[in-house]
A = this chain, B = another copy of it.
């Protein structure tokens, strides 16, 4: 299958590599060309523009930083809108706002084009191992068309609705829940630590019984060992995601008090620990607020 990947950051790059390895014919594009090396080494071809990457492709993935970056690769003479064929499907992998997804869906529809939103759960290591969880939404036929390519990058594809934006809402809910789990663990660990109980013992109980799941195991270890740097997902991006959740919550009139806690702690993280902090570093802020010294130091 002819596949394009637009956006070769620390997620897009391993995705392109896995597509090439799976035997697909892959064209890639990235704003700065030097990020394309790994993909090219795996057999992908570098296209000069998003349009050129899209022309002739059956599936075009976009994996870009945010809503603005997505608009940028879509628009203009060199853009994806101009290059996407009638039978092709644009599969947006980025975590974007529900409103943006609706807007892009309308943009494609006006051109007789097809869109699937398919944001993914997983950090760069999961992308490299083709172990992403893919959350897809769109017309059934469009999702069907994208399946072979999606299966090359993830361990499982969940189909959550027929409107592309549905997948974005589910993905945003998921990111909210991940960070809420980190916050909750951090509050409990701070309490245990100040009470003289080893947080490692607490974590073992949790992940050994009722919270035996990847999020609690992985983030629990990060929080326990305070292994926040280098960041896997920087706090300003986490803040962006939580803002997208909040925008949907405001539009849909849904009070979400835990979301408020998360946003405040992300703001404190960036304000006091810097813009290069990991989003899970809200756990360090929770410890700071309790007067706990850094365990790592």
Contacts and interface: CB of A to CB of B under 8 A. Distances in A.
Interface of A: 98, 121, 133, 135, 156, 158, 160-161, 163, 166, 169-170, 173-174, 176-178, 180-181, 183-185, 187-188, 190-192, 194-198, 201-202, 204-206, 208-216, 239, 243, 245-246, 248-250, 252-261, 263-265, 267-268, 270-272, 286, 288-291
Given A195-B248, A255-B286, 16 more contacts: A135-B205, A156-B208, A158-B205, A160-B198, A161-B201, A170-B192, A173-B202, A174-B188, A174-B209, A176-B188, A180-B258, A184-B258, A187-B254, A253-B267, A255-B267, A271-B290
Contact of A243 (B250, B255, B259, B268): B250
B205 A215 contact: no
Which of A198, A215, A255, A267: most chain B Cβ within 10 A? A255
Given A260-B257, A261-B260, A261-B261, A209 B133 contact: yes
B177 A185 contact: yes
A221 to B, nearest CB: 14
Contacts of A195: 98, 166, 169, 248, 252
Contacts of A216: 213
Contact of A213 (B202, B211, B248): B211
Identical chains bound together, number:
4
Contacts of A206: 174, 177
A278 to B, nearest CB: 16
A255 B176 contact: no
A253 B194 contact: yes
A202 B263 CA distance: 22
A173 B192 contact: yes
Nearest to A173: B188
Nearest to A275: B253
A188 B209 CA distance: 24
Contacts of A248: 191, 195
Contact of A198 (B161, B177, B202, B245): B161
